[in-house]
Amino acid sequence: MSDELLRPEPRIGLGTMGIEDAERIASAIETGYRHLDTAQIYENERVVGRGVERAPVERADLSLATKVWAESLAHDDVLASTRESLDRLGVGYVDLLYVHRPVDTYDPEETLSAFDRLRDEGRVRAVGVSNFDAEQVAEAREILDAPLAANQVEMHPLYQQADLLADAQRHDYALVAYSPLAQGEVFDLPEIRDVAEKHDATPAQVSLAWLAEKDNIVPIPRSASDDHLRENLAALDLELDAEDVAKVESIDREKKLFE
């Protein structure tokens, strides 16, 4: 896995969709987050960039990721829109650039050749995809000259993605788990609540710990407050035993939030 690029220490990143306050970004970095995830479609790359600039941490110590939206995946549009993203972020490169979704203007050969070019130019350190299934990942890996660093997907106790995780571990790329708390729905799951009570932890911490302890997974929760920023990061101090993991993985309901 591209650990160096995803900064596995700490092994939890920050999803920034909906964050419009640069101080929240700066505060997250001060709290200890080192992997920051944004996207063109979030329309907050300038906010993220300002937060990075204000934080007392060197750019080289951060991992910054963004995503090219579906309407900009033609070869030349990838190049142009990525340069615009870099301008909005106020940086010379991003550590990880994703294909946001394999739809609309996505053409594997044309799109991914542009990603390779950006990596060759030094504007992108690593290439990722998002919302890809295992077959689409395999196709991308075959086409790319660059190693495939990550596939960002919805992943949480109600959508566990066991087959995709096995593929990631077999082929050594990261699964970056968005919506790891299922937009708050994990808080009411009795299996999660039981484990949380056992460890005097929160349901959010149990869900994040369950993800973060697995090889090849980097969860990226969002947070609306400094308290939640700290709470989420503290999930890394929670050690789940085999019984806890089995209880989480015994959840027999499945709910995918995003299509």
- Residues assigned a catalytic role: 42
Q: How far apart are CA 198 and CA 76, in angstroms?
A: 54
Q: Give the Cα-Cα-Cα angle 202, 10, 227 (nearest 5 degrees).
A: 40
Where do we find the tokens 């295992």?
134
Query: Could you tell me which of 93, 81, 98 has the C-alpha nearest to residue 140?
Result: 98
One DSSP character per residue, 106-138 reads: --HHHHHHHHHHHHHHTSBS-EEEES--HHHHH
| Peptide bond preceding 10 in cis form (omega within 30 of 0) | yes
